[in-house]
Amino acid sequence: MPSKFWGHFIFISYKKLNFIPSMSAQPINHIFLNLDKPIQDTIKIGDLELYLDGSFRPEWNATVVGEIAALPENPKGEYAETVSKLKVGDKVLFDYSVVAERKFESDGAYFTEVTKDSPYYQKFINGKGEKIFIVAMPGKITHTWSGTFSDNRGNFVHGCQGSESELSRWKSQFSFGETQQFFFTNLLDTGNGDVWKASYRDIYAKFDGEELKTVGDRIILEPIDLDIPKEVLTQMGIEVPQSTFKARLGDRAKVISAPEGSDLKVGDVVGFEEKYLEKYEYNGKNYYLIKSRRALGVWEEEDGL
Amino acid sequence: MKQKFTPLGKRVLVKLDAPKDRTDSGLYLPETAQKDFITGVVEMAGKEAENVSKGDKIMFASSVGVDIEVNGQQFRLIPDELYIDAII
């Protein structure tokens, strides 16, 4: 894979960690996937197409749809049933971690941030598996900062608590940088092309034409968007077409596909806690996935009461 | 239009009673004691719930479950009937 530039200053390259001689080798406890493009690295704004180096933070831009390249002959274990519903060539939706899981060179001492851009909570890891956590807690006047450094076994080594400047002085003993090589953990080089290794439980759904069908224990949901009433828009002083204003319900969504044997059917409106949702986007359409046991109940509308 | 919520699995939908600020004999309860356990009436139980049914008055730890609003009324959704401590 080619090296890429991100912005003007960050240089990253990644390489394949694993090599298997050819595709005649069958997976045993995994599924092999073919992906057109592992990282979604373009953003379209009208006719304009912008390029982004998503390999910098693959968890944000990882591809989640691919084609099955090879399946194990005799799948065993808890998720064996999932595999039996799949065949080579099926287009499937899978967990983002298949692509996003990566590790840095074993001697890489540079720390890389793995959290999203939050000024008050930061987590850094390096190639040795060492970790730094930095948290800011609101105080009476200003924030109190604390930082901990732990080794590759998770044991606390040392830390610091104080003002932002005290913490930044403590932090300066470590080296930070993005200029290091990393490996995609699940990328395999077959000699005939790359495949991605996924565990059975990573496969959530398969495409039946353009329809999405669940293959595991997850319910696939479609968000419900409601039009904001014209009266509300008028009160807000907005003079634009009403159809452009939608409110998305955050506690319920419509079932597209439910696991076999569940009490749910297509079209049911299911209630959930938002923290348990897995949000996916494909072909401009949004999907919510949720484990069956996390679905709270079914919402129905009653007439004439 | 009215809405209906049917809990799934072993979940139980409960209409909570107003918190009790004193015992039956008239002793005032400290705020902490009022909050530990709460009581309510089962509004609807999931298909798999076997030990409770609509109308049962139950007691459970106040930290259990999620609050849910149905037709403007507040309910508590208990994730499993196992969390219910007693039928009163």
- The CATH superfamily holding the domain A4-103+181-206 is GroES chaperonin (2.30.33.40)
Q: What is the mean pLDDT of chain B?
A: 86
Closest residue of chain A to B79, computed from CA coordinates: A296
Number of C-alpha atoms within 13 angstroms, CB side, residue A23?
14
Cα angle, residue A66 at apex, residues A64 and A71 outer, rounded to 5°: 120
Q: Quick one: pLDDT at residue A26?
A: 77
To the nearest 10°, report the CA torsion of A195, A196, A197, A202: -140
Residue B17 lies in a domain: yes
Residue B47 lies in a domain: yes
Question: What's the CATH number where B64 sits?
Answer: 2.30.33.40
Does A297 contact B46 at a Cβ distance shorter than 8 Å? yes
| Average pLDDT for runs of 10 along chain A of length 305 | 35 49 69 87 82 71 89 82 87 90 70 78 84 88 90 91 89 77 80 84 88 90 84 71 75 92 90 89 86 92 64
Q: Quick one: pLDDT at residue A10?
A: 35
Q: Among residues B4, B46, B73, B6, which one has the least CA distance to residue A304?
A: B4
Residue B2 lies in a domain: no
Does A297 contact B1 at a Cβ distance shorter than 8 Å? no
Chain A residues close to B13, C-beta within 8 Å: 297
Does B3 contact A301 at a Cβ distance shorter than 8 Å? yes
Domain count of chain B?
1
Does B1 contact A296 at a Cβ distance shorter than 8 Å? no
Q: Among residues B80, B30, B46, which one has the least CA distance to residue B60?
A: B80
CB neighbours of residue A50 within 10 Å: 9
Residue B1 lies in a domain: no
Residue A61: C-alpha distances to residues A40, A92, A201, A246 (Å): 5, 17, 21, 26
> pLDDT tens digits, residue range B20-59?
777 788 888 777 666 678 889 999 999 998 888 899 999 8
Instruction: Give me the residue from A273, A296, A302 closest to B3, CB to CB.
Output: A302
Let me know: does A214 contact A205? Beta carbons within 8 Å: yes
Does B3 contact A263 at a Cβ distance shorter than 8 Å? no
Instruction: Give me the residue from B3, B13, B66 closest to A273, CB to CB.
Output: B66
**Could you say which DSSP state residue A268 is in?**
-
Instruction: Give me the residue from A264, A293, A299 closest to B5, CB to CB.
Output: A299
Residue B41 lies in a domain: yes
What distance in Å separates the CA atoms of residue A175 and residue A112, rounded to the nearest whole number?
Answer: 9
> The complex's ipTM?
0.81
CATH topology of domain A217-299: 10 Kd Chaperonin, Protein Cpn10; Chain O (2.30.33)
Question: Could you tell me how many CB contacts below 8 A there are between chain A and chain B?
Answer: 43
Structural domain range at position B35: 12-87
